[in-house]
């Protein structure tokens, strides 16, 4: 059991469809991160929230991607017009120990 | 530009022996280094960390060594157990700034043979 819940665990979608993932930290954190992991790679930073403010976005986050954290608690990540290259595991994380993260179990996206 | 590198994609070790996983980095401004373990279909799990001002940190069977002059860190697992079989990622945190994001290596798949 991690301190972060992600939903859904798996998503299969057709190319061109929109998908939305949700991240719920179990305890309140003002900081929240989204990462993406593809096969053979380590997790790559996508975006960072401090409370409801999105303070940093990676260049990996194209204009088809949007993330929100409307009340500074849960967060959503939406991908519009999905492409096969979007297939990956999307990970949400909150801080632990002041210098590391605890990750959720991730959402595995497969675009067919 | 890969700032954190794990040059060994895989490692196989006999149960009971020592596993040594290596990681190199290029940015001397990193202030914390961490190791994560990942099983298939799960998120990474924090394992152990080390501050850049230290050269060793130990937690049970896991020890991380940091060589700042060589920009190299390693994770030692002794004795290795079959349940340790997983992908291990090293990660580094950039110093300063509001984001404190972690930069990960590409991972090493450890297989511990019974």
* Per-residue pLDDT tens over the stretch A41-65: 999 999 999 999 999 999 888 899 9
- Residue A101: closest C-alpha in chain B: B46
- Residue B96 pLDDT > 70: no
Inter-chain contact B49–A108, Cβ cutoff 8 Å? Answer: no
| From A6, A48, A99, residue closest to B49, measured CB to CB | A99
Backbone region of residue A83 per phi and psi (left: phi > 0; alpha: psi in -120 to 50; beta: other values):
beta
pLDDT confidence band for B41 (50 / 70 / 90): confident
Which residues in chain B are closer than 8 Å to A108, comparing Cβ atoms?
41
**Model confidence over A81-110: pLDDT tens digits?**
999 999 999 999 998 876 788 999 999 999
Q: What is the mean pLDDT of chain B?
A: 93
A43 contact residues in B (CB cutoff 8 A): 44, 89, 102, 104
Work out the average pLDDT over B54-73. Answer: 97
Predicted pLDDT at B13: 98
Helices then strands (H, E): number in chain B?
A: 0, 11
Cis peptide before B25 (omega within 30 of 0): no
């Amino acid at each position: 059991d991690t301190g972060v819940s992600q939903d859904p665990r798996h998503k299969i979608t057709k190319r061109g469809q929109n998908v939305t993932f949700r991240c719920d930290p179990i305890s309140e954190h003002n900081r929240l991160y989204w990462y993406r992991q593809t096969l053979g790679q380590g997790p790559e930073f996508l975006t960072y929230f401090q409370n409801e403010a999105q303070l940093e976005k990676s260049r990996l986050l194209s204009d088809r991607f949007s993330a929100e954290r409307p009340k500074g608690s849960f967060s959503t990540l939406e991908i519009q017009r999905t492409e096969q290259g979007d297939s990956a595991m999307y990970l949400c994380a909150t801080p632990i120990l002041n210098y590391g993260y605890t990750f959720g179990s991730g959402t595995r996206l497969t675009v067919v | 530009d890969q700032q954190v590198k794990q040059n060994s994609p895989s490692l196989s070790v006999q149960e009971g022996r020592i596993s040594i996983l290596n990681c190199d980095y290029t940015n001397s401004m990193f202030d914390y280094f961490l190791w994560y373990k990942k099983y298939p279909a799960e998120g990474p799990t924090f394992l152990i960390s080390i501050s850049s001002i230290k050269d060793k940190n130990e937690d049970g069977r896991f020890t991380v060594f940091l060589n700042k002059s060589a920009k190299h860190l390693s994770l030692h697992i002794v004795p290795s157990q079959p349940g340790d079989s997983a992908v291990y990622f090293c990660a580094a945190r950039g110093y300063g700034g509001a984001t404190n994001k972690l930069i990960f290596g590409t991972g090493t798949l450890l297989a511990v043979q019974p």
